[in-house]
A and B are shown apart, each in its own frame.
Chain A
Amino acid sequence: MTRRQRVVAAVALIVLAGVPLSAYLKLGSRVGARTVTLQWRDFPARYFVTDAGVDGVSAQQFQTAIARAFSTWEAVETANLSTEFAGFTAATPRVGDSISVLGFLGRSDQSRTLAATSFFIDTVDGRILESDIYFNTTFGWSTSESGTSGRFDLESIAVHEIGHFFGLSHSALGETELLSGGRRVIAAESVMFPIAFSAGNTADRTLKPDDIAGLSDIYGTSAFSRQFGSISGRVTKNGTGVIGAHVIAFNPRTTRLVGGFTLTSDGGFVIAGLDPGPYVLRVEPLDDGDIESFFDSSFGVDVDFNVKFHERIVVVPRGGGTSNIQIRVTPK
């Protein structure tokens, strides 16, 4: 094997994606000073399903829900990707066995993790060679069409994890409240928000504009490149770039929300996958989730600034970008 390969343990080791750094977050892996974006390059991406069920969900029901979740992402018209169910397997979701497996796994040591995705990648070009997803049997699961009270909807959680499977990281389009023992999500507008809706909620079976923009940014069709645009600029505080600021773009004509982050030391951000038209921009600190859910702990995220609207309307052209947007925030 001439190319170096390494395991990237999914969510816990997310680092920044390569240029262009866009809406939501794309998974990436840092190789020396270089960052490569994680993405599948060979389609269909084949996956196996562990031939084992849990209380309330048989292996067949599990596979059916997983297939629906994959179909949800594959149905995005502005992205080119496909998957193939390769069959049931006795293997468990374990990275490094050269097959992508989705299945249940008992992880009582991960008492706050519903599910997780891991990768085996080519670190030269970020090509995903294998991706495995486990669903933690510590929790109760359901595949009921309308959801089951007290049990997490497997399809909803699968849609989120499959977003990781395709190379997306977390979105910050959500609001949370602190409770004893952790955070509770009040509302979110992205399947890729890191904190799941409550047990019984099936809302995350449906992708939101932020998710679609993210997927299309990685696997976009030629039509996507022609028909959608981007906004880029800088967020600064006292003349210095703000790192890790969450920038939201809202189109009052379509009411679509897409979020992005400042990812460079000068406070640079890019939000791609936007419908042409006018947008308002809102900047907020990343305070609705554990920062480690989004960035490596060494990233130096700045949360010491006030929420702010940009004073100018920003217009996104078709197939192009609006750049040099300057947003100045003030310390708290």
Chain B
Amino acid sequence: MSLARGVAATVRHAACVGALGGTLGMMAADAQIRSPPQRPIGPTPRAGSWEIGGGPAFVGGYDLGSASADLSRNSTTDTNPFTLFVTDSNVTPAWSPFGRVAYYVSPKLAVEGGVRFGRPVYQIDLSGDAESAPDVVAEETLDQYLFDASVVWHFSRPPASRSRIVPFVYGGAGYLRELHEAQELVETGIEYHAGAGIKYWFGNAPRRFGFRGDGGLSVRDGGFDFDEGLRIVPVAGVSLVFLF
């Protein structure tokens, strides 16, 4: 009995090292050699399990650059425009609630879909007016929806593991839908994302709650932007999850 606890303790320690250093596979193999086969009781969900969750995500803002309201100068020699005023545009970061449902294809592989809603603020700094209009920050609030799907790969523990922490990586794509204030203009785009995180399970029961934290990058093609190119924003989220 004490040996078993000792093995479990060793593996738990190794898991932490493995998550950080990439040696998990080696240590897990070592544990399997020293432990007799047994019914999975670790934190790894079984194939066919479902997971639902939700929480807040922090979605980074982005800069839309400067633009000037220019008039053509009355000169045959000076080609520099006459600037009436200058604008500097950005979209602020926003906390965005999200919900997600995942299906475990195998103990390590899950597919998930989710929806996220945020209300970032689009700001334009207006300054440098040629006729001394006071500087102003004009604003509007965007309604930002993201419908996405991801593949999640869990660095799952050996069956005998009692570690409650499961690291994972994910990647996927989504449909971005952004509505300007009054919802009279819609801008849509494709979103790609990738990242990593951990799940912490409260217990090992087949049905259990857990905590998920993850962070990554969201690459948008389209949606509200001034340029045709891709833009990248950081995304981080925490959520309460339930496995069943």
Which residues of A are in contact with B by a Cβ distance under 8 Å?
Answer: 147, 149, 173-175, 184-189, 197-198, 200-201, 203, 208, 248, 250, 252-253, 255, 257, 276-278, 280, 282, 284, 306-313, 315-318, 320, 322
Q: Is B129 an interface residue (CB 8 A)?
A: yes
- The answer, among A277, A280, A312, for a CB contact under 8 Å with B87, is A280
- Across-interface contacts of A253 in B (CB, < 8 A): 67, 226
A184 with B184: CB separation less than 8 A: no
Q: How far is the CB of A95 from chain B (nearest CB, A)?
A: 31
B residues neighboring A (CB under 8 Å): 64, 67-76, 81-82, 84-85, 87, 89, 122, 124, 126, 129-134, 136-140, 180-182, 184-185, 226
Closest 6 CB pairs of A and B: A187-B82, A187-B71, A317-B184, A313-B140, A315-B180, A307-B133
Please state if A189 and B71 are interface contacts (CB–CB under 8 Å): yes
When distances are taken between beta carbons in the complex, the residues of chain A under 8 Å from B73 are: 186-187
Contact of A250 (CB < 8 Å), options: B69, B75, B82, B181:
B69
Q: Which residues of B contact A252 (CB under 8 A)?
A: 64, 67, 87, 89, 124, 226
B197 CB to nearest chain A CB (Å): 35
Partner of B184, one of A198, A201, A313, A322: A322
A313 touches B139 (CB 8 A): yes
Q: How far is the CA of A315 from the CA of B187 in the complex (A)?
A: 12
A contact residues around B180 at 8 Å (CB): 278, 315
With A and B bound together, what is the CA distance between A228 and B72 in angstroms? 24
What are the residues of chain A within 8 A of B136 when measuring CB–CB? 309-311
Known A175-B71, A280-B87; contact A312-B139, beta-carbon cutoff 8 A: yes
Which residue of chain A is the closest to B140 with respect to CB atoms?
Answer: A313
| Complex Cα spacing A309 to B124, Å | 11
A311 in contact with B226 (CB, 8 Å): no
Identify which of B84, B124, B140 contacts A175 (C-beta below 8 A): B84
